[in-house]
Amino acid sequence: MTASSLAQEEAVRDVCRALGFSAHGLTPLRRHATSVYLLPQDGIIARASPWDRRDALARSVALTRWLADQGLAVTEPLSVPQPIERLPYVITLWTYYPQPDGSPPPAEHLGRLLRQLHELPSSPFELPPYKPLTALQETTNRSVALSDGDRSWLQGAVAEALDAYSQLEFPLDAGLIHGDAYPGNTLWGGSGALLGDWDEAAIGPREIDLANTFQGVRFGRTQQELSAFIHAYGYDPTPWPGLVVLTRMRDLHTLGSFIRRADKGDGTAVKQLAFRLTTLRSNDRAATWSAA
pLDDT for residue 108: 97
What Rg, from alpha-carbon coordinates, does the chain have? 19
pLDDT for residue 30: 85
Structural domains present in the chain: 3-95 (3.30.200.20), 107-281 (3.90.1200.10)
pLDDT for residue 252: 98
Q: What is the DSSP string of 76-137?
A: -B-SS--SEEETTEEEEEEE--PPPSSPPPPHHHHHHHHHHHHTSPPPSS--PBP-TTHHHH
The residue type found at 19 is: L
Low-confidence residues in the chain, pLDDT < 70: 1
pLDDT for residue 68: 96
The residue type found at 111 is: G
Q: What's the pLDDT tens digit per position in 175-229? A: 999 999 999 899 999 789 999 999 899 999 999 999 999 999 999 999 999 999 9
Query: Is the distance from CB of 20 to CB of 70 less than 8 angstroms?
Result: no
Residue 221 CA to its chain's centroid (Å): 18
Asked if residue 171 has a cis previous peptide bond (ω within 30° of 0), the answer is no
Q: What is the DSSP string of 220-267?
A: T--HHHHHHHHHHHT---TTSTHHHHHHHHHHHHTHHHHHHHHHTT-H
What is the rounded distance in angstroms from the CA atom of residue 8 to the CA atom of residue 251?
A: 29
What is the rounded distance in angstroms from the CA atom of residue 195 to the CA atom of residue 226?
A: 18
What is the rounded distance in angstroms from the CA atom of residue 165 to the CA atom of residue 53?
A: 26
Query: Is the distance from CB of 154 to CB of 277 less than 8 angstroms?
Result: yes
pLDDT for residue 271: 96
What is the rounded distance in angstroms from the CA atom of residue 230 to the CA atom of residue 153?
A: 34
What is the rounded distance in angstroms from the CA atom of residue 93 to the CA atom of residue 18?
A: 13
pLDDT for residue 1: 65
